[in-house]
Amino acid sequence: MPLRISSLSNPQLKRLKRLHRVDPNQVEFLIEGTHLIREAIRAAWPLEGVFYTELWVNEHRAFLDTMPAHLEQFLVDPQWLNQAATTQHPDGVVAIGKLTGIQDRIFDADAAGDLAGSSLTLATDGIQDPGNAGTLLRSVAALGGNRMFLSPDSVSPVHPKFLRSTAGQWFRLPPKVSSIVDLAAQAKQGGVQIVIAQMDGEPIWDMDFTKPTMFIVGSEGQGIRESTRRLADSVCSVPMVMGVESLNASVAGTILLYEAARQRSQRKQP
């Protein structure tokens, strides 16, 4: 049976509110909404607790039965849950995900396994917008990528909006944090070509992305830093009509991944 919480001064609420502000030293993170929690459970991601309203229980009894037996459950008032969540209109449930003991799934600079074989990876160079980062991770998962890497000055891998914008793919393919320099060194050692996108680059349809490839996407404001550009083996561009200056970072990254997936699919055809 779930424990009932109604007091707004309860320590559990304070615990959840602390997770609204991402701390690099935190050992747990906030998971919001039915879909994300369902995906976390499917991926066997360790959870510390789940908090839900009576209305949510009435609508999701079958899902409730799939929750791990050891998971702490709390029944809360809608007002309580509204304060626990970061969204304006939460759907009635939030949970706490565990990082203690499994940080290597995320904060692991060793990318050798992800860069092996005919790998397809994407790295962000200072991307701050969690929505853009989440869309990119979703695209990596959808288009057969091995991994998404975040530079240390990119958005936190456990930012609540980042998690939400991945539509649950975060738990299927958790991002990793690595410096671009270290990542580039491992990529070159493994025979992976490093490709960045800029307006003055070669059109993507004239390039070969069937070999192991790592795309690097720049931040929303600065784009690719010069120090990162010097690490690249080649520069590509997404052909556009005259008068369009640039594409959103998540759109550009998705187009690069799609072109790589298209080329690889054609290569497999007889």
Angle, to 10 degrees, between the axis of helix 130-142 and the axis of helix 249-268? 10
More confident site: 102 or 16:
16
Q: In whole numbers, what is the pLDDT of the chain averaged over residues?
A: 91
Alpha carbon 66 to its chain centroid, in Å, reads: 25
**pLDDT tens string 150-182:** 999 999 999 999 999 999 999 999 999 999 999
- What the block records as the tokens of 204 is 């993507």
Q: Structure pTM?
A: 0.91
Q: Is the pLDDT of residue 106 over 80?
A: no
Q: Is the pLDDT of residue 54 over 90?
A: yes
- One domain, residues 130 and 212: yes
- One domain, residues 136 and 197: yes
Boundaries of domain holding 74: 3-101
Q: Average pLDDT in the 71-75 region?
A: 96
Least confident of 21-25, 45-49, 50-54, 59-63: 21-25
Share of the chain above pLDDT 90, in %: 74
Q: Average pLDDT in the 233-248 region?
A: 83
pLDDT of residue 100: 65
**pLDDT tens string 83-99:** 999 999 999 999 999 98
In contact, 133 and 127? CB cutoff 8 Å: yes
Question: Among 67, 101, 135, which residue terminates a domain?
Answer: 101
CATH code, domain with 38: 3.30.1330.30
pLDDT of residue 23: 84
Pairwise CA distance, residues 160 & 104, whole Å: 20
pLDDT of residue 269: 67
- One domain, residues 206 and 253: yes
pLDDT of residue 267: 82
- One domain, residues 21 and 142: no
In contact, 149 and 111? CB cutoff 8 Å: yes
Number of domains in the chain: 2
- One domain, residues 252 and 196: yes
**pLDDT tens string 194-221:** 999 888 899 999 999 999 999 999 887 7
pLDDT of residue 248: 87
- One domain, residues 83 and 124: no
Q: Is the pLDDT of residue 103 over 70?
A: no
Q: Is the pLDDT of residue 110 over 90?
A: no
- One domain, residues 126 and 147: yes
- One domain, residues 190 and 96: no
Q: Is the pLDDT of residue 68 over 80?
A: yes
Cα torsion 143, 145, 151, 155: sign: positive
Residue 182: DSSP 8-state:
H
pLDDT of residue 243: 62
pLDDT of residue 107: 66
- One domain, residues 212 and 126: yes
